[in-house]
Structure 1
Amino acid sequence: MPFLRKTNLFHDLSEQELKRVAEIAISRRISRRSILFTEGSEKECVYFIQKGLIKTFKTDENGHDQIVSFLSTGDMFPHIGFFHPHPYPATAEAIVDSRLLAIPVSQFETLMLNYPSIGIKMMTVLGDKIRELQEKIQGLTGQDVKHRVITLLLQLADQLGKFKDNICVIDLPMTHQEFAISVGTTRETVNRLLSQLNKEELLEVSRNQIIIFDLRGLKSQISSG
């Protein structure tokens, strides 16, 4: 119940309505690198991340993976949610050990028939979410590659960073190629930008780890840009 109450989608529900949702919710744990569902399979559940990091990706006709998004604590996926009959639009994989809350679509549809107010309140929230995503997409298309790289670094620091004496250590949950794909550029470009930030003594990069020495300085790179 407390986690559901913090979730934007259910924020406006009454205690009684929230209790009904909690009754059909299922806790799930998924291990690192495990596949939760595959692109095109029947959509059985909608998931909420209680803790962890999930990667969603699509596979093209040549068998190459195209990363759609990285999702973290508090996020719902797939974004098409409960009100769309189509199959899962992408494959979902756990990047780290994750704890999820799964709500079966069929049971939720039955719940909405009995409590129409739940659906009405959620549609309002989803409308706001759609506008937020549209604004986010517009913002990303206007950012240069350096801005996108630093934004992802800050997101990873917030989600996975371990802090000690103002130094942030991130055990990198993806390959450098996956990092590059997620920000829409090449691995060579990402490596060049990370080397530049290294020379500025903002961070240090190894194969599986990033150490951020100056988080404030890193943030200033995009706030002043």
Structure 2
Amino acid sequence: MINKLWYLSQIKLFDKVDAEDMQVIDKGTHHARIRKHTIIQSPEIAGSGLYFVKEGALRLYIINEEGRQFTVGILGKGSTFGEVESFSLGTHGVYIETLEDTLLCSISSEQFEAFIADRPEIMKRVMRILSDNLNQKNSMLEKMALGTVKEKLLFLLMHLAEEFGIPEDGYARIDLPLTHQELSNMIGVTCESVTAAIHELGKENTIRSSRKSVSVRM
């Protein structure tokens, strides 16, 4: 049986929220386990409400006119995304895909609006999350549009290491199984280009890689 209150307490948005308020928010939430590589949102189909990542990871991306994918955000455990009546957390108009098996919690727009109506401290956190999401999206778009393959890949890997890294011998091992093909899809280049960039970064000791594991020098 899922302990919803424990999972909710791990969400950044609800950090330092008292037990009574946590009971209120818990009553309105729903949980769902979603398999790896499931697209849970597209630009044409986007649900309302807020979603909280309890376990797993999500990728936000766009597709250009040539059909290439460009990652604009990575969300890990404790992250929040979605749309409610009074604000959007910067995830409108993008695809959202699970990078691994993921546990999501959701609350309807109406329930969340009612919850924050007399809790201004929660709204302040929402605005910080919105700012962080937009900054991440803008940085990703700029790097993916202007960078070389090597620069794009290193930027992505550093971001993944920051979000999912486990320290090991001076490196941060990205705790996600990533193939060269998956990395190439994330930055909109060929798999061969990613393989060449990984080899070059490896020779520089900037990263260490194996078949499905990548570590970034800290």
Q: Are 1:121 and 2:121 counterparts?
A: yes
Root-mean-square deviation (CA), in Å? 3.8
Aligned to 2:182: 175
Describe how 1:31-180 pairs up with structure 2 within 5 A: 31-78=35-82, 80=83, 83-84=86-87, 88-109=92-113, 111-112=114-115, 116-118=117-119, 120-133=120-133, 149-157=153-161, 159=164, 168=173, 171-172=177-178, 175-180=182-187
CA distance in 2, matches of 1:66, 1:135: 16
Structure 2 residue 11 is the aligned partner of structure 1 residue 7 = yes
Once residues 116 and 82 of structure 1 are traced to their aligned partners in structure 2, the CA distance between those partners, rounded to angstroms, is 12
- Which residue in the other structure is 2:208 paired with? 203
For structure 1, the residue ranges without an aligned partner over 5 or more in a row are 220-225
Query: Could you tell me the TM-score, scaled by structure 1's length?
Result: 0.68
More helix by share: 1
Range that drifts further, 96-105 or 143-152: 143-152
Residues 93-118 of structure 1 show CA distances to partners (whole Å, capped at 9, x for unaligned) of: 11211111111223323x33xx6223
Larger Rg: 1
How far the C-alpha of 1:211 sits from its partner, in A, is 4.7
Identity of aligned residues (%): 17
- The residue type equivalent to 2:87 in the other structure is H
Shift of 1:61: 4.7
Structure 2 length-normalised TM: 0.70
Give the whole-Å Cα distance in 1 for the aligned partners of 2:139 and 2:70. Answer: 20
Task: List runs of 5+ in structure 2 lacking aligned partners.
Answer: none
